[in-house]
Structure 1
C-alpha cells in the first residue's frame, strides 16, 4: 500500500513539475511567424513555440462592437480609465476614471501624446460589451482555460505605451480601428531594461523608452535587438509570456486585448500572484494632508461648526488640486460642469 501511495505522490509531483516548467519556458529567437488562416490545433501548436505570431482572426462581431467609433457613439456616459504615460511617480494613482465622451475629447486635444486608456474591464462589464468577447473568442481560447480577461486600448495620437511584459499563457491583440506600430524584445533583454515589478497593479515594466531611449539607458539599450512592425485591421498578434512589448497608437486607433490563463499557468505564477495579494493588503494611501503636532499647537482653535467647514473646504481644495495635476484645463472645466 505504501508503495502505491508513494508512486502516486511521485507521479503527481512529476506531473506538476513538468507543467510548471512548460509554462515557464521561453524563447529568445528574434523572429515572428505569420499564418494566413490557421486551424485551432495549428494555432495552439505554433503559439507553444513561444514566438510572436501574426495571423488572421476574422470575427466581424468583435471588430464591429469593440472599435473606438462604435463605443463612443453608443456608450459615451460610461467611464473608462485614463493613464498618463509621463507620470512616473509611484505615489500617484495609475488610472483616473473619466466619462468616455470626455476621454475622446481629451485624446483629440492632447498634442503631447500623453494619455491612453487601458484596464477597462469595468467598462466592458457595465456596457455589456464583454458578452461580444465571450461569445466570439472560442477560436482564441486555449484548452483548460481558467481566466479570461478582455480589454480595449485607446489613446491620443502617437502615444507610446510603457515597455512591459505579461505572465498570461496567451496574449492576443486584435486591431479594430486605425493602425499601430509594435516593438518587441525577447525575454533575455530583461537584464538591460531595469525592470520594475509593480505588484500592486500587477504590472512588470521598464522606464526605458524603446522608441527613443533616454541617454542614461542608451548604452544598455544598444545591446538589445527588437522586432518592429505595423499592425493593420483584421490582423491579430500573439505575444508570448515574458516578451517585452510597447505599442505606438496612431490617431483614432483602438485595439481589443485578449488575455488567457490556464489552471497550470496560475500554479506556475503563484509567487507573483501571492506577492500581488500581499501588496494589495499592505498599500495605504493618504488622502489628507499630514500635519505635525507642533503645527497643530500653534493653530487657533475654532468652534465645532467652523472646524467642519474648514475640513470640508480643505478636502475640496485637495481634490481639485489632484484633478488639475492629471487633466488639462479645458477637460477639467467640462468635468466640473458635469459634476455640478
Structure 2
C-alpha cells in the first residue's frame, strides 16, 4: 500500500513539475509567424511554440461592438481609466477615472501625446460590452481555461504604452479601429531593460522608451533587437508570456480589444507573482490627492504671522506720527481733544450737557 501511495505522489509531483516547466518555457527567436485563417487546433499548436503570431480573426460581432466609435455612441456617460505616461510619482494612483466622452475629448486635444486608457474591465461590466466579448471568443480561448480577462485600449495620437511583458498563458490583441505599431523584444532582453516589478498593479515594465530611447539607456538599448510591424483592423496579434512589447497608437481613433487567458496550471506556475501581488495590495496605500507636509504648512503660517505683525507695527507707527503732526500744527495735546459724538447715543442729551457746562 505504501508503494502505491508513494508512486501516486511521485506521479502527481512529476505531473505538476512538467506542466510548470511547460508554462515557464520561453522562445528567444526573433521571428514572427503569420497565418491567414488557422483552425482552432492549428492556432493552439503554433501558440505553444512561444513565438508571436499574427492572424486574421474575422469575428464581426467583436469588432463592431467593441470599437471606439460604437462604445462612444452608446456608453459615453460611463467612466474609463486614464493613465499619464509622463507621470513619475510612484505614490500616486496609476489610473484616474474619467467619463468616456471627456476622455475622447482629452485624446483629441492632447498635443503632448501623454494619455491612454486601459484596465477597463469595470467599464465593460457596467455597460454589458463584456457579454459580446465572452460569447464570441470561443476560438481564442485555450483548453482548460480558468481566468478570462477582457479589456479595451484607446489613446491620444502617437501615445505609446510602457515596454512590458505579460505572464498569462494567452495574450491576444484585436485591432478594432484605426491602426497601431507594435515593438516586440524576446525575453532574454530583460538584462538590458532595467525591469520594474510593480506587484501592486501587476505590471512588469521597463523605464526605457523604445520609440525614442533616453540618452542614459541608449548604450544598453542598442544591444537589443526588436520586431516592429503595423497592426491593421481585423488582424489579431498573439504575444507569448514574458515577451516584451510596446504599442504605439498612430491616431486618436485607434482602439484595441484585449483577451488574456490563464489555465489552472498557468496559475500554479505564477504562484510567486500572485502571492507578492496579494501582499503588496495589502501593504501599500496610494495617494488620491497630493499631500502637503505639516512642516511646510507651519512655515507658511509663521511667515504670514510675521508679515501681519510687521504690518500692524507699521500702522501703529503711522498713527503716532500723524498724532504728532496734528499736535505740532495746532499746539494742542491730541489726547485732550473732544471725543466725537457716538452715532448710537442721544443727540439731545449730548447738547444739553454742552449747554449746562456753559
TM-score (structure 2 length as normaliser) = 0.81
1:127-184 per-residue CA deviation (whole Å, 9 max, x = no partner) reads: 0000000000000000000000000000000101100000000000000000000000
Q: CA deviation at 1:93?
A: 0.9
> Are the aligned partners of 2:169 and 2:266 in contact in 1 as well (CA < 8 Å)?
yes
1:140 alignment partner, SS class: coil
In structure 2, C-alpha distance between the alignment counterparts of 1:281 and 1:15, rounded to whole Å: 33
Deviation of 1:293 after TM superposition, in Å, equals: 12
> How far has the Cα of 1:294 moved from its partner?
11
Which structure: larger Rg?
A: 2
Give, in angstroms, the shift of residue 285 of structure 1: 3.5
Could you give the per-residue CA deviations for residues 189-244 of structure 1, whole angstroms, max 9, x where no partner exists?
00000000000000000010111111100000000000000000000000000000
Count of aligned positions:
298
**Aligned twin of 1:330:** none
- 1:307 corresponds to: none
Q: Structure 2 vs 1, CA of residues 45 and 97 (structure 1 numbering), >3 Å: closer, same or farther? A: same
C-alpha distance in 2, partners of 1:166/1:118?
Answer: 14
- For 1:290 and 1:215, how far apart are their aligned partners in 2? 34
Partner SS for 1:217: helix
Secondary structure, in 3 states, of the residue corresponding to 2:188?
helix
Distance 2:248 2:88 in 1: 18
Displacement after TM superposition at 1:247 (Å): 0.4
- Aligned partners of 1:160 and 1:129: how far apart in 2? 25
Q: Corresponding residue for 1:58? A: 58
How far apart are residue 291 of structure 1 and its match? 2.4
**Hey, what's the Cα distance between the residues in 2 that align with 1:200 and 1:28?**
28
Distance 2:298 2:196 in 1: 37
Q: Which runs of 5+ in 2 are unaligned?
A: 303-358
Partner of 1:154: 154
User: TM (normalized to structure 1)?
Assistant: 0.85
Kindly indicate whether residue 26 of structure 2 is the aligned counterpart of residue 23 of structure 1.
Answer: no
Partner residue in 1 for 2:353: none
Instruction: For 1:18-167, list aligned pairs within 5 A.
Output: 18-167=18-167
> 1:320 maps to what in 2?
none
Distance 1:289 1:267 in 2: 43
Q: Which residue does 2:261 correspond to in 1?
A: 260
Partner of 2:338: none
* Aligned counterparts, 1:1-340, within 5 A: 1-251=1-251, 252-285=253-286, 289-291=292-294, 295=298
Is residue 92–residue 286 contact of structure 2 (8 Å, CA) maintained in 1?
no
Look up the SS of the partner of 2:294 in the other structure.
coil
Deviation string 1:308-333 (CA, Å, 9 cap, x unpaired) is xxxxxxxxxxxxxxxxxxxxxxxxxx
Structure 1 position 89, deviation (Å):
1.6
| Alpha-carbon distance in 2 for matches of 1:169, 1:285 | 30
Residues 49, 294 of structure 1: CA spacing in aligned structure 2 closer, same or farther, 3 A cutoff?
Answer: closer
Q: Give the secondary-structure state (helix, strand or coil) at the position aligned to 1:54.
A: strand
Unmatched tracts of structure 1, length 5 or more = 300-340
SS of equivalent residue, structure 2 residue 216: coil
How much is the aligned-residue C-alpha RMSD, in angstroms? 1.5
SS in 2 for 1:107: helix
CA distance in 2, matches of 1:259, 1:285: 26
How much has 1:42 moved relative to structure 2? Answer: 0.3
CA distance in structure 2 between the partners assigned to 1:67 and 1:293 by the alignment = 48
Structure 2 Cα separation of the partners of residues 95 and 137 of structure 1? 27
> Offset of 1:295 from its aligned partner?
4.4
Distance 2:162 2:296 in 1: 42
> Aligned residue for 2:333?
none
Runs in 1 of length 4+ with deviation above 2 angstroms?
Answer: 284-296
Distance 1:146 1:6 in 2: 29
